[in-house]
Chains A and B, each alone.
Chain A
Amino acid sequence: MTAATVRRLHPADLARTASVGLRTRRMRAALSALGIAIGVAAMVAVLGLSASSQAGLLAEIDKLGTNLLVVTPGQSITGDAAELPTEAPGMIARIGPVETVESTGAVDATVFRNPYIPAYNTNGIGLAAASLGLPDAVRTSVAAGRYLNAATARLPVAVLGSDAARHLGISRIFPDQRIWAGGQWFYVAGILNPATLTQNINNLVLIGYPAAEKYLNFDGHPSTVYVRAATEQVADVFTVLAATANPQSPSEVKVTRPSAALEARAAAQSAFNGLFLGLGAVALLVGGIGVANTMVISVLERRSEIGLRRALGATKGHIRLQFLAEAVLLAAIGGAVGVAAGTVATASYVSIKSWHLVVPPLAWGGGLGAAVVIGATAGLLPALRAARMQPTEALRTT
């Protein structure tokens, strides 16, 4: 029994001694934990919001369908604008897995609300001939009035894309509503909702193919073909589309998949997070400094407690671990509160946007982990200082 052995504290005892400072100085502990909490909450909210909005966007893309392919003319070898053959939609429709084919053909004419608008004031509005099933193919719908039908497609009747309607200052439909298109009056039959997948449609004024040919000398060449294919065979259709649309010169045909672009945009959205994450990290750093400050003061104030513990048989290691654990505990509490606050903030914003709540594990795990690491870093120096204190010095009362 001459050589007494050093015993390590049981984890429960360590937790008990580590929480002494927090239990006896609650206000101070709460305030320094708050600093950590704000930083973690900011990070969790940023990551949660971006993940939720991304999930929301992907869900929207899913709803719009990922099987839409868009065929447009590219450039000819000489660099001029190419044309799609007039037979292109018909030929594309003969590809097996293709479900629907709709098209628009750009008409070289300008659209104004009335003839008195200066010619340069086009607002970028385009005029196009459109097939009759277009809204369905691009998953949009009629906001007011009605779309073209077999009868109105032959008459000077137009349907406005959502942006075009806004630019023309037309928000509702009433009889005798007219616009000045290509040097003559067209009656407005309806207004479309925004088309998310194919946003170029939004700033178009659509008229029927027969009407375009009859009133505006349209040559009948489609400028954009919208193709819906069986979802599992979209990739196959994609590869044959160019050759089918223009067998003579497939290289002059451009095929795109709009949903892919939107998905890329969803992924790119997280790039903006860098800035906010940086701000969160700064808040966390400041919180860490707060914890360090609290621990330094705590060590100074609790000199006699340190001395007593040394007299009771605590080693330097015991003291070091106690204060380190206290700092980690403090930061972890802050981190947990921060994760909760960040999640609540995300949830409330998400509920307004009616997205699904997504808090990625990286957000809460990373937030909590960062808090613990910061706590350990902040507590290290004060803990070393506490452990270095000589028992006699610690027990001195004056």
Chain B
Amino acid sequence: MTATGAAVLPAGGPRTDEPVLELDDVRKVYPGASPVVALDRASFTIHRWELVAIVGPSGSGKSTLLQVMGTLDRPTSGTVRIVGTDVASMSDRDLAALRATRIGFVFQQFFLAEHASALDNVADGRLYSGTRHRARAQAAAAALRRVGLGHRMDHRPPQLSGGERLRVAIARALVGNPDIVLADEPTGNLDSVSGAAIFALLMELHAEGATIVVITYNHELAGRLPRRIEVLDGCLVADVREPRPAAPTDGHRP
């Protein structure tokens, strides 16, 4: 990983056969008077340079899946491996370091700091990976240009539209050159035109080598992605690949 972080492509070119995220028989139960099985027997592997949609209705366990994939929560049973490392054996501290360098998050609510400029918000994406301020700012500027916000760097989130804020959040997820980007319902708060633009952006980033998992309830948008994992009531019900999974094009048309 380079310090400047200008490139989205991993050094040495993408190796599509390398598993980045592996779930093996993952089960998540929320304890309580009546325990809730949020995730049951979830097994799948996401390889480098994949663009995957996880689709399911509200309450189907998508958010739990995101938290487990992102090491924000530990599964009740089963194995989660990030780039080959079993997270069960890692301490809370090591998981934090793992998130700092290997996983990028895009949250539905964006969670941008309102008082800070877009640039500073994006730069915070590398705050905990040991990058100095100047290098962070440079990487953030590159990431913002990458998502088409080169002209909005000094604007604060309240001065940006919903689509632009989402782009800032995406740039923040990308700025650390993570191995995988997890996006939770990114277009959930956008109108269909902006949503389509964001999907186009995700396709572009994917084309440049980013590994992206998009969680969404929107079957129509998910249908345009090369691979779809469908979730229902905590179970994976389908894992569909298009005939040409790893060949996204820049000229993506809805």
- The reply to whether A2 and B73 form a contact with Cβ atoms under 8 Å apart is no
Residue of B nearest to A316 (CB): B92
Q: Does A317 contact B (CB under 8 A)?
A: yes
Q: Does A392 contact B (CB under 8 A)?
A: yes
Point out the residue from A1, A4, A23, A24 that lies within 8 Å of B100, measured CB to CB.
A4
Q: Does B85 contact A (CB under 8 A)?
A: yes
Digit string of A1-14 for contact with B (CB within 8 Å is 1, else 0)?
11111110110110
Q: Does B93 contact A (CB under 8 A)?
A: yes
Q: Does A310 contact B (CB under 8 A)?
A: yes
Point out the residue from B70, B83, B93 that lies within 8 Å of A311, measured CB to CB.
B70
- The reply to whether A313 and B111 form a contact with Cβ atoms under 8 Å apart is no
Comparing B124-132, B159-167, B213-221, B235-243, the segment that makes contact with chain A is B124-132
- The reply to whether A316 and B93 form a contact with Cβ atoms under 8 Å apart is yes
Q: Does B3 contact A (CB under 8 A)?
A: no
Comparing B18-26, B101-109, B138-146, B199-207, the segment that makes contact with chain A is B101-109
Q: CA–CA, A20 to B112, complex, Å?
A: 13
Q: Which residues of A contact B94 (CB under 8 A)?
A: 3-4, 6
- The reply to whether A7 and B107 form a contact with Cβ atoms under 8 Å apart is no
- The reply to whether B72 and A313 form a contact with Cβ atoms under 8 Å apart is no
Q: CA–CA, A315 to B125, complex, Å?
A: 14
Within the complex, what minimum Cβ distance (angstroms) separates A77 from chain B? 85
Q: CA–CA, A397 to B185, complex, Å?
A: 14
- The reply to whether B102 and A4 form a contact with Cβ atoms under 8 Å apart is yes
Given A392-B67, A392-B72, residue A313 in contact with residue B96 (CB < 8 A): yes
From residue 207 to 230 of chain B, which have CB atoms closer than 8 A to chain A? Answer: none
Q: Does A307 contact B (CB under 8 A)?
A: yes
- The reply to whether A7 and B96 form a contact with Cβ atoms under 8 Å apart is no
Given A4-B100, A316-B93, residue A395 in contact with residue B127 (CB < 8 A): no
Q: Does B115 contact A (CB under 8 A)?
A: yes
- The reply to whether A2 and B83 form a contact with Cβ atoms under 8 Å apart is yes
- The reply to whether A13 and B133 form a contact with Cβ atoms under 8 Å apart is yes
Given A312-B128, A314-B128, residue A6 in contact with residue B96 (CB < 8 A): yes
- The reply to whether A311 and B105 form a contact with Cβ atoms under 8 Å apart is yes
- The reply to whether B84 and A2 form a contact with Cβ atoms under 8 Å apart is yes
Q: Does B47 contact A (CB under 8 A)?
A: no
- The reply to whether B97 and A305 form a contact with Cβ atoms under 8 Å apart is no
Of listed A4, A5, A13, A315, residue having the most chain B CB within 10 A: A4
- The reply to whether A315 and B127 form a contact with Cβ atoms under 8 Å apart is no
Q: CA–CA, A23 to B120, complex, Å?
A: 14
Q: Which residues of A contact B111 (CB under 8 A)?
A: 304-305, 307-308, 395
Q: Which residues of A contact B83 (CB under 8 A)?
A: 2
Of listed B84, B96, B124, B172, residue having the most chain A CB within 10 A: B96
- The reply to whether A313 and B101 form a contact with Cβ atoms under 8 Å apart is yes
Residue of A nearest to B99 (CB): A313
Q: Does B113 contact A (CB under 8 A)?
A: yes
Within the complex, what minimum Cβ distance (angstroms) separates A269 from chain B? 50
Q: CA–CA, A40 to B101, complex, Å?
A: 44
Within the complex, what minimum Cβ distance (angstroms) separates B18 from chain A? 12
Q: Does A17 contact B (CB under 8 A)?
A: yes
Q: Which residues of B contact A97 (CB under 8 A)?
A: none
Given A4-B97, A23-B115, A24-B115, residue A10 in contact with residue B92 (CB < 8 A): no
Of listed A12, A310, A392, residue having the most chain B CB within 10 A: A392
Which size bracket describes the interface of B in this complex?
Answer: 20 to 34
Q: CA–CA, A390 to B114, complex, Å?
A: 23
- Where chain A touches its partner, the secondary structure class is helix
Chain A: how many interface residues by the 8 Å CB criterion?
35
- The reply to whether B98 and A318 form a contact with Cβ atoms under 8 Å apart is no
Q: Which residues of B contact A220 (CB under 8 A)?
A: none
Residue of B nearest to A391 (CB): B72
Q: Which residues of A contact B115 (CB under 8 A)?
A: 20, 23-24
Q: Which residues of B contact A17 (CB under 8 A)?
A: 127
- The reply to whether B72 and A395 form a contact with Cβ atoms under 8 Å apart is yes
Q: CA–CA, A314 to B113, complex, Å?
A: 16
Point out the residue from B85, B128, B133 that lies within 8 Å of A313, measured CB to CB.
B128
Given A6-B93, A391-B72, A395-B107, residue A312 in contact with residue B130 (CB < 8 A): no
Residue of A nearest to B178 (CB): A313
Residue of B nearest to A319 (CB): B96
Within the complex, what minimum Cβ distance (angstroms) separates A317 from chain B? 7
Within the complex, what minimum Cβ distance (angstroms) separates A101 from chain B? 78
From residue 345 to 386 of chain A, which have CB atoms closer than 8 A to chain B? Answer: none
Residue of B nearest to A317 (CB): B93
- The reply to whether B101 and A4 form a contact with Cβ atoms under 8 Å apart is yes
Q: Which residues of A contact B129 (CB under 8 A)?
A: 7, 313
Q: Which residues of A contact B127 (CB under 8 A)?
A: 9, 13, 17, 309, 312-314
- The reply to whether B132 and A315 form a contact with Cβ atoms under 8 Å apart is no
- The reply to whether A392 and B96 form a contact with Cβ atoms under 8 Å apart is no
Q: CA–CA, A116 to B156, complex, Å?
A: 92
Residue of B nearest to A8 (CB): B130
Q: CA–CA, A391 to B107, complex, Å?
A: 13
- The reply to whether A7 and B128 form a contact with Cβ atoms under 8 Å apart is yes
From residue 155 to 209 of chain B, which have CB atoms closer than 8 A to chain A? Answer: 172
Of listed A1, A2, A307, A395, residue having the most chain B CB within 10 A: A395
User: What are 22 of the A-B contact pairs (CB < 8 Å)?
Assistant: A3-B94, A4-B98, A4-B100, A6-B93, A6-B97, A7-B97, A7-B100, A9-B127, A13-B133, A20-B113, A309-B128, A312-B105, A313-B98, A313-B101, A313-B128, A313-B129, A315-B96, A315-B97, A316-B93, A318-B96, A391-B72, A391-B73
Q: Apart from A3-B85, A308-B107, A312-B100, what are 19 other A-B pairs with CB-CB below 8 Å?
A: A3-B94, A7-B129, A16-B133, A24-B114, A304-B109, A305-B111, A305-B113, A307-B111, A310-B72, A310-B96, A313-B99, A313-B100, A313-B127, A315-B92, A315-B97, A316-B93, A390-B73, A391-B72, A392-B72
Query: Closest 5 A-B residue pairs measured CB to CB?
Result: A313-B100, A7-B130, A313-B128, A4-B97, A315-B96
**B-to-A contact residues, CB < 8 Å:** 1, 67, 70, 72-73, 83-85, 92-94, 96-102, 105, 107, 109, 111, 113-115, 124-125, 127-130, 132-133, 172
